Amino acid sequence: MSPAVLAPLVVLLFIALLDAWVYSDARSHLERGETVRFQAGNFVVDRPETWTAGCLLLFVVFFPLYIVCRSS
């Protein structure tokens, strides 16, 4: 495989692994009773499935948002 084909695949694999980590981490927080929560008006993200879906659809927005909300 050429580097032009391999590079995007490596990036997608890395993002998929980070999405799996977000799900696992959000789930472990939820099991401890510490919900990772973001709310802007009526828009609420507080379930592991929602965080993962957000990261899958808009990684550049949701992953940093998850990191910030997780530390709060």
Helices (H) and strands (E) in the chain, counts: 3, 2
Quick one: pLDDT band at residue 2, thresholds 50, 70, 90? confident
Residue 56 pLDDT: 96
The pTM (predicted TM-score) of the whole model is: 0.90
**Residue 36 in contact with residue 66, Cβ under 8 Å?**
yes
Output phi, psi for 44, to 5 deg: -125, 130
pLDDT digits (tens, 9 = 90+) for 11-57: 999 999 999 999 999 999 999 999 999 999 999 999 999 999 999 99
Cα–Cα distance measured from residue 2 to residue 17, given in angstroms and rounded to the nearest whole number? 23
Neighbouring CB atoms inside 10 A of 36's CB total 25
